[in-house]
Amino acid sequence: MKITKFGGTSLADASQYRKVIDIISADAERQVIVTSAPGKRFPGDIKVTDLLIQYAQLTLAGAETAELADTIYERYETIGRAFQVEQAVLEDIHTIILDLVSITFHDSAELQHTFKAHGEILNALLFASCLNSVGIPARFVDPRELGIVAQERDHEVVLADETYRHLNQFNLGAQRIVVPGFYAYTPDNKIITFARGGSDITGSILAAGLHATMYENFTDVDAIFAANPQIIDNPAAIKLMTYREMRELSYAGFSVFNDEAIIPAIQGHIPINVKNTNHPDAPGTLIVSDSEYEARQLVTGIAASSRFAALYLHRYLLNKQAGFTLKILQILYKYGVSYEHMPSGIDDLTIIFDKSQLQPEIISHFLAEIKEEVCPDEMEWIDDYAIIMVVGEGMRNRVGIIENIINPLALHDIPVKMINQGASRISIMLGTDRADAANAIKYIYNRFFNNNYLEV
């Protein structure tokens, strides 16, 4: 049995739905289908999840919502009509959307989670109806029935271990099931959404918990490429890679996967196949454990992400001062701020933060406290920090890689603000200005992929 997840672009309209139905009917093993909310149909279009976020905001502000509710409903209605689903199904969807504004929520967070999850809920309901209307028996199954439980801890949504016990007890039967991705239930039965892109997480949890033979993740590209296709024209496709490579690359910007998403699949030893809904016969990218992998090239992929900021601190004899870092960490802890990386030298320390996890209004407060508490000789907040990650199992134990990364950047006058090598033996991390990140990717990509400097 395979878990087959379809991203938002794969379910954006009726013609995409048709492709997805063909994909499902081509393989009886595709028994558990995970849906995202309808995504963008064309560049500039708005994902249903983003419409629902607006809908939640208008509701919280007590503003007029009728027009937006209609826009959301139309996305589902057009698809449903194309498949001649029963009128009652469309009416249900319409009512559910309209009724959201009348539900009493405990707080605004609960309202936002519930509104957001409805992109997936309604798409799964509609998709199950469409499958039935073309003669493929299928049943909508909510994460509550499966027992997917999660809760917020330190601003993170953490899956409860009992989820796997529940999934173990779930009787799948012979029918296909359609499960909405992106959300779970709290122990007190409230909807809680994962991070954006989190339908990938649901697919991965189900793959591990229901002991699938494969986790198929259908998206809108033929493969995971060695660099973002929006930066590099026609980048090399990655046919086979390891979980670890994927984790590092998705963390640093390969948005094809949510970076947390593959952890359950890794823990369950489930191979992942990323495939294209628009070219389902293309083999896509297979992601496996390192024991099933032999590196054939040095670098597998190069990613960049601009969602970072950095705090640079300089103080002479910093390496001799007991408790210097501890004081800083205590201040960060007090503000509930986690950091991503902390490269240090004898007199210098850089702390790198994920800006998407930082509330902008607290930055000036914790900076002031750090300044007062540790009295650095120099301190700078770098707000536009990008991280570039060069990743490959083939880099392990190989000498001379770093110069091939740095040289092309030096040749093009791109300053490197930080290098972090060694923490993971399969990756090298660089810090640059955000404005330089795309060019840095191009030059590093050229060195490794267009100069035959690839073989192990």
Ligand X SMILES: N[C@@H](CC(=O)OP(=O)(O)O)C(=O)O
Ligand Y SMILES: Nc1ncnc2c1ncn2[C@@H]1O[C@H](COP(=O)(O)OP(=O)(O)O)[C@@H](O)[C@H]1O
Query: Which residues contribute to the site for ligand Y (CB under 6 A)?
Result: 7-10, 36, 39, 197, 219-221, 224-225, 227-230, 254-256
Q: Given the complex with ligand X, which of 181 and 284 has the nearer CB atom?
A: 181
Phi, psi torsion values for 383, nearest 5 degrees: -85, -20
Partner from ligand Y, ligand X, none contacting 196, C-beta within 5 to 8 A by type: ligand X
Q: How far is the CB of 362 from ligand Y (least distance, A)?
A: 29
Question: Which token pair is 433?
Answer: 């200005």
How far from chain centre, in Å, is Cα 11?
18
The reply on whether position 17 binds ligand X by CB under 6 A is: no
Which residues have a Cβ under 8 Å from the Cβ of 447 and sit 6 or more positions away? 404, 405, 407, 408, 453
**Chain residue whose CB lies nearest ligand Y:** 7
Find the binder of ligand X among 55, 115, 182, 225 (CB under 6 A): 182
CA 51 to chain centroid, in Å, comes to 19
The vertex-429 CA angle with 428 and 431, nearest 5°, equals: 150
Q: HEC states along 329-373? A: HHHHHHCCCCCCECCECCCEEEEEEEHHHCCHHHHHHHHHHHHHH
CA distance 181 to 121: 8
Minimum CB distance to ligand Y, residue 198 (Å): 10
Binding-site member from 37, 298, 351, 428 for ligand X (CB under 6 A): 37
Three-class SS state of 101: helix
**In angstroms, rounded to a whole number, what is the distance separating the alpha carbons of residues 284 and 296?**
18
Please state the closest distance from residue 48 (CB atom) to ligand Y, in A: 11
431 touches which of ligand X, ligand Y, none (CB within 5 to 8 A by kind)? none
Stretch that binds ligand X, among 33-41, 163-171, 302-310, 335-343 (CB under 6 A): 33-41
Q: Does 47 bind ligand X (CB under 6 A)?
A: yes
Which residue has tokens 């503000």? Answer: 335
| Residue 254 binds which entry of ligand X, ligand Y, none, CB below 5-8 Å type-dependent | ligand Y
In angstroms, give the least distance from the CB of 398 to ligand Y: 22
Q: Please tell me whether residue 203 binds ligand X under the rule CB under 6 A.
A: no
d(CA 90, CA 75): 11
Q: Which is nearer to ligand X, 94 or 118 (CB)?
A: 118
Q: Residue 273's binding partner, choosing from ligand X, ligand Y, none, with beta-carbon cut-off 5 to 8 A by kind?
A: none
Q: How far apart are the first and last CA of the chain?
A: 36
Burial of 84: CB neighbours in 10 Å, binned 0-12, 13-18, 19+: exposed
Alpha carbon distances (Å) from 188 to 114, 398, 407: 14, 51, 55
Out of ligand Y, ligand X, none, what residue 300 binds, judged by CB under 5 to 8 A for its kind, is: none
Place of tokens 């949890």: 205
Distance of closest approach, residue 279 Cβ to ligand X, in angstroms: 18
Q: How far is the CB of 441 from ligand X (least distance, A)?
A: 22
* Minimum distance, C-beta of residue 356 to ligand Y, in the bound complex (Å): 15
- Shortest distance, position 162 Cβ to ligand X, whole Å: 23
> Which residue among 200, 216, 260, 436 contacts ligand X (CB under 6 A)?
200
Nearer CB in complex with ligand X: 57/404: 57
Separation of alpha carbons 130 and 426, rounded Å:
45
Partner that binds at residue 225, options ligand Y, ligand X, none, CB closer than 5 to 8 Å by kind: ligand Y
Distance, in Å, from the CA atom of 93 to the CA atom of 91, rounded to the nearest integer, reads 5
In terms of CB distance, is 256 or 310 closer to ligand Y?
Answer: 256
Q: Which does 119 bind (CB under 5 to 8 A by kind): ligand X, ligand Y, none?
A: ligand X
Q: Which residues pair with 235 in a beta bridge?
A: none
The tokens describing 288, both together, are 């496996």
Spatial separation of the C-alpha atoms in residues 235 and 203, rounded to whole Å: 27
Q: Which among ligand Y, ligand X, none contacts residue 366 (Cβ within 5 to 8 A by kind)?
A: none
Name the residue nearer to ligand X (CB basis): 48 or 414: 48
Tell me: does residue 163 bind ligand X (CB under 6 A).
Answer: no
Q: Which residues lie near ligand X (CB under 6 A)?
A: 7-8, 36-37, 39, 47, 49, 119, 181-182, 196-200
